[in-house]
């Protein structure tokens, strides 16, 4: 069997040559003077010597040069590793955004369609902008009869995915309630929806693991009798009279939220009955508009400011009015972060 000593010597020399500058001469020789550790031991012992050749470069400069090479090598390795990590992160982000965009498309399918809104109202407008592409705000309307129907604006707790999941539960609960009684009183419908959400999330048990719910408002419109029935849970109805001499009216919802943990059923909310005058504009607005802080003083947009915007837009269409509300809100918000989903619906009959 041929000796492997030359191969070992070559490997050792190659490794040392890579590690030391060219100014060093490296010598390797086998040491035959050391006794074998035991019979049959084929290991080799090498003597290695280094000699610094004459050079115009000082030893300290060589050390510095090699140190820089090592640092450069480490930096290149770090950059390569970072680029690989960034590629992995970009792939993960792309998959995540694809999923969220798909969820957004599903959530938009839950909203009242433009076809139905245009058919039922003389004119209508929608402002719907989730803070995180998807969110907890939805606007919803009953199917069927176009002369006696209901429209709701719901603001679920949470944002993003949690809020969107809860909004789906609320939408399906409203479908269930109005399938049983299409002309149900809005205050009763809201309380029943609160009970269903509480039950579906097992929040009616003493050991409830979640505590979620919603604010919202429902308007029932009876065109035959020119009447509107409103009920709200921490959500208001704004009426902009067609008469320019009449002030904008805010009809406040009750100061209680629905769902959340609890054992006792919700009591029906109070329902307000209004006469519909031709040309009057009605608006439901979520607290994402009212509570958004901004300006230099960090205070909320508020009801007063909203009503001023509505008053100066009384001769515009519902959509143009909501566009101005959004522009005014964005201007007020300035560099402040968006705090909540923003939604509103407006209509004339």
Q: So where are the chain's domains? A: 5-60, 112-348
Q: What is the arithmetic mean of pLDDT over 322-341?
A: 94
**By mean pLDDT, which of 31-45, 64-78, 278-292, 301-315 is the weakest?**
31-45
pLDDT at 256 over 90: yes
Provide, rounded to the nearest whole percent, the portion of the chain with pLDDT above 90.
60
DSSP 271-313: -EEEEPPTT-EEEEE-HHHHT-EETTTTEE-HHHHHHHHHHHT
For the record, the structure tokens of 158 come out as 């949470």
Domain 112-348 carries which CATH code?
3.60.40.10
pLDDT digits (tens, 9 = 90+) for 59-74: 667 667 767 777 788 8
Q: What is the pLDDT of residue 96?
A: 82
Confidence of residue 29 (pLDDT cuts 50, 70, 90): confident
Phi and psi torsions of 347, nearest 5°: -160, 155
DSSP state of 111: S
Confidence of residue 1 (pLDDT cuts 50, 70, 90): very low
Q: What is the arithmetic mean of pLDDT over 289-294?
A: 94
For the record, the structure tokens of 88 come out as 């992995």
Mean pLDDT (the chain) is 88
- The Cα angle at residue 254 between residues 251 and 257, in degrees rounded to 5: 135
The helix or strand, by DSSP H or E, that contains position 55, with its residue range, turns out to be none
Confidence of residue 31 (pLDDT cuts 50, 70, 90): confident
If one counts every other C-beta atom within 10 angstroms of the C-beta of residue 11, the result is: 11
Task: Specify whether the CB–CB gap between 195 and 174 falls below 8 A.
Answer: no
pLDDT digits (tens, 9 = 90+) for 152-175: 999 999 888 999 999 999 999 999
pLDDT digits (tens, 9 = 90+) for 125-158: 999 999 998 999 999 999 999 999 999 999 999 8
């Amino acid at each position: 069997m041929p000796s492997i000593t030359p191969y070992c010597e070559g490997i050792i020399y190659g490794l040392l040559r890579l590690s030391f500058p060219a100014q060093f001469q490296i010598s390797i020789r086998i040491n035959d003077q050391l006794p074998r550790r035991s019979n049959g031991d084929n290991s080799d012992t090498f003597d290695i010597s280094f000699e610094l050749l004459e050079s115009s470069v000082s030893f300290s400069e060589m050390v510095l040069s090699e140190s820089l090479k090592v640092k450069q090598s480490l930096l290149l390795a770090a950059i390569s590793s970072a680029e690989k990590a960034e590629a992995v992160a970009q792939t993960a982000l792309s998959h995540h955004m694809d999923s969220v965009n798909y969820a957004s498309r599903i959530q938009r399918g839950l909203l009242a369609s433009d076809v139905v809104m245009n058919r039922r109202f003389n004119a209508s407008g929608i402002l719907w902008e989730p803070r995180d592409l998807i969110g907890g705000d939805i606007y919803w309307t009953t199917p069927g009869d176009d002369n006696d129907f209901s429209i709701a604006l719901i603001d679920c707790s949470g944002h993003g995915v949690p809020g969107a999941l809860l909004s789906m539960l609320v939408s399906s609960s409203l479908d269930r309630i109005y399938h049983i009684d299409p002309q149900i009183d809005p205050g009763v419908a809201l309380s029943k929806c609160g009970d269903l959400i509480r039950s579906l999330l097992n929040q009616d048990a003493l050991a409830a693991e979640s505590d979620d719910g919603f604010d919202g408002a429902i308007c029932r419109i009876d065109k035959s009798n020119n009447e509107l029935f409103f009920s709200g849970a921490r959500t208001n109805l704004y009426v902009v009279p067609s008469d320019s001499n009449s002030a904008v009216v805010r009809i406040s919802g009750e100061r209680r939220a629905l769902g959340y943990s609890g054992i006792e059923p919700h009591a029906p909310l109070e329902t307000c009955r209004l006469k519909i005058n031709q040309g009057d504009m009605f608006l439901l607005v979520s607290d994402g508009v009212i509570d958004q802080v901004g300006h230099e003083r960090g205070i909320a947009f508020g009801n007063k400011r909203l009503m001023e915007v509505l008053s100066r837009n009384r001769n515009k269409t519902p959509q143009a009015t909501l566009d101005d509300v959004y522009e005014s809100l964005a201007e007020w918000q300035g560099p402040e972060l968006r705090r909540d989903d923003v939604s509103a619906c407006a209509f004339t009959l």
